[in-house]
Amino acid sequence: MTKALSDPIQAGPLDLEFEPALREGASRRFWAGRNKYLLGAVCIVICLVLVTPIVLSVSASLKTTAEAAAVPPTYFPSELSLDNYDRLWNYGSGLPTYLRNSLVTAALTIVMTLALTVPAGYGLARFPVPGKEGMFIFLLLALIIPYQALLTPVFLMFSTLGLTNSLIGLAIVHTTIQLPFSLYIMRNAFEAVPRELEEAALVDGASSWQVLRRVFLPTMVPAVITVTLFAFVTSWNEFLGALVMLTRDTSLTLPLVLAAARSVTSLGSTDWGMLQAGVTVAIVPCVVVYLLLQRYYVSGLLTGAVK
């Protein structure tokens, strides 16, 4: 069981650096005998096709109200306007409320995930805890039982605890989703630290907690960034859990508000311009964070592709 679970994750290419530099010559030879201009053209076409939906959405969000509702639609705005963002800002309880809800939930998810997985990774990787392989498998339980299937009992538990319509409750659900992946990353990171560093500190009479703080945490920065990044993206984007747990308008997160705005608006029909403004607001933080921290994102994916 242990082997079955950890194998697909540990072995294979997943422990390797993402880009073990292929030498330039070899790199060119990979495609030996192929027309490099043709291959370049294919790359460019793929990029254009993949990037088009995002460009169209962002540009639709900048159309005037009338142009956004035009039939047939225009590809690009003939005149730039922030009207759609204006309506989005005042939609329902107001965009600031929803943004705040999404950000608070993401922040709580990050804090809880780190508070649970940093010590657990430390304990599992550096101490001779009896039965720790079994414990590790148990902690990965959420991989085997998808959270989608557990929403009914969790919802009932949260209603008795008063955690429905609460961002803490939703953050707990998001932490459940994120826990196996994060624990994996953390345990691997703790295991990678050489024993000598730890022993020197222990000889000096430091407690295990001091060793964690002074010796390990500085080397854990990349792992902490990876876990934070994935927890943020998961929480910011998660839909079904929020749909089940949140019903009061003032506690909704951004994805729920947008899904609601799809069908119901003050005009009785879909406000397409505002909808694309909302999609843009939802997309931008994820894309920016990804582009800035791409290295952590990719290495995290390679280490914990079990997600």
Partner 1 sequence: MTNRSRLTGFWYVLPALAFVILFTAWPFVQMVWISLNDWSLITPPTFVGFENYVDAFADSQFWISLRFTLKYTLLITPILMIGGYLISLLVTPNSGLSRLTRTVVFTPVVIGLGASSLLWYWLFSPNYGLINKFLTDLGLIDSPILWLGVDADLSNWAVIISITWKVLGFGMILFVAAIQAIPQEITEATMVDGAGFWQRVRKVILPLTRRTILLVTLVSVIGSLLAFDQFYIMTAGQPRNLTATSTFYVYLNSFPYLKLGYGAALSMILALIILGFTVVQMALTRRSNT
Task: DSSP letter for 211, please.
Answer: I
Cα–Cα distance between 304 and 185 in angstroms, integer?
A: 6
CA of 62: how far to CAs of 82, 203, 228, 275, 295, in Å? 6, 63, 32, 11, 32
Nearer to partner 1, 41 or 82 (CB): 41
Nearer to partner 1, 107 or 283 (CB): 283
CA 238 to chain centre: 9
Minimum distance from residue 94 beta carbon to partner 1 (Å): 19
Minimum distance from residue 221 beta carbon to partner 1 (Å): 19
Minimum distance from residue 159 beta carbon to partner 1 (Å): 10
The answer to whether the CB of 131 falls within 8 A of the CB of 197 is no
Token pair belonging to 147: 């959270």
Cα–Cα distance between 218 and 215 in angstroms, integer?
A: 7
Minimum distance from residue 132 beta carbon to partner 1 (Å): 8
Minimum distance from residue 240 beta carbon to partner 1 (Å): 5
Nearer to partner 1, 8 or 96 (CB): 8
The answer to whether the CB of 170 falls within 8 A of the CB of 242 is yes
Nearer to partner 1, 97 or 270 (CB): 270
The answer to whether the CB of 14 falls within 8 A of the CB of 303 is yes
CA of 65: how far to CAs of 58, 80, 81, 124, 164, in Å? 14, 10, 8, 57, 36
Nearer to partner 1, 7 or 86 (CB): 7
Amino acid letter, 297:
Y
Minimum distance from residue 86 beta carbon to partner 1 (Å): 19
Describe the crossing of helices 95-126 and 221-237 by its angle, rounded to 10 degrees.
140
Minimum distance from residue 178 beta carbon to partner 1 (Å): 11
Cβ neighbours around 151 below 10 Å, total: 17
The answer to whether the CB of 188 falls within 8 A of the CB of 300 is no
- Residue 19 backbone phi and psi in degrees, to 5: -120, 75
Minimum distance from residue 287 beta carbon to partner 1 (Å): 6
Nearer to partner 1, 70 or 221 (CB): 70
Nearer to partner 1, 73 or 162 (CB): 73
Nearer to partner 1, 221 or 292 (CB): 292
| Exposure on the CB side of residue 217, measured as CA atoms within 13 A | 10
